Structure 1
Amino acid sequence: MTVRTTHTEITFKRPFMLSAFDARQPAGTYRLSVDEEEIFGLSFLAYRRKATVLQTPAISVTSSRHQTVEVDPEELAAALDADALASRTVEE
């Protein structure tokens, strides 16, 4: 089984909440890792998402407590969209 991991950073301009957390998370830039495994038997290269993991606290926060939490990618995308919409509304 071939697994690949993609590391990116995502930024929330406002505090946000996801069901994987007990409390709202502060605005900031967070590290995000996505694990995917290769789908065999196809005539082309394809991958299936296996895990989406968000690391807390935000990169800019100094803390002795670090946590890696698996999050729902659709819920995360919706939270990022809502954050972007709220930020645009305030700027206008």
Structure 2
Amino acid sequence: MLTRSTRSMVTFSNDFTIGDNQRELPAGTYEIVVEEELIQGLSFEAYRRTGTYLMVRGRGSNAGQTTMQMTTQEDLEHAMACDRALSETTNDSEAALSPQKDTT
């Protein structure tokens, strides 16, 4: 069976959770690995996704370790949409846009 892996990067501006995992991950840039397998018996080349993984670097006492957290494309897209929405809300807030008044 022929397989392929593609790698991409995604940046989260805010802390986030992904999928059913309730562990909050810190904002930052994360590597995404997508694994696909060739669908046999077709007259053209086509691949089926077999796995989507978020590469999570260890922190603190786990520094230097990287884990592959299995997820789905839907959960990844949902986490990215929530991050964008939170960033837009924060950027549109009055506190974020208004400078403090000098009261002296």
TM-score range, shorter chain: 0.7 to 0.9
Higher Cα radius of gyration:
2
1:86 Cα deviation from its structure 2 partner: 1.6
1:21 maps to amino acid: N
Q: Which has the higher contact order (CA 8 A, sep 6+)?
A: 1
Greater share of residues in strand: 2
* RMSD, aligned CA: 1.9
Distance in 2 (CA, whole Å) between partners of 1:83 and 1:22 is: 16
1:24 Cα deviation from its structure 2 partner: 0.3
| Corresponding residue SS for 2:18 | coil
| Corresponding residue SS for 2:37 | strand
Aligned length: 90
- With normalisation by structure 2, the TM-score equals 0.75
1:26 maps to amino acid: P
1:23 Cα deviation from its structure 2 partner: 1.3
- Structure 2 unaligned spans of 5+: 93-104
Question: For the structure 1 residues 14 and 33, does the alpha-carbon distance in structure 2 shift closer, same or farther, using more than 3 Å as the test?
Answer: same
- Structure 1 unaligned spans of 5+: none
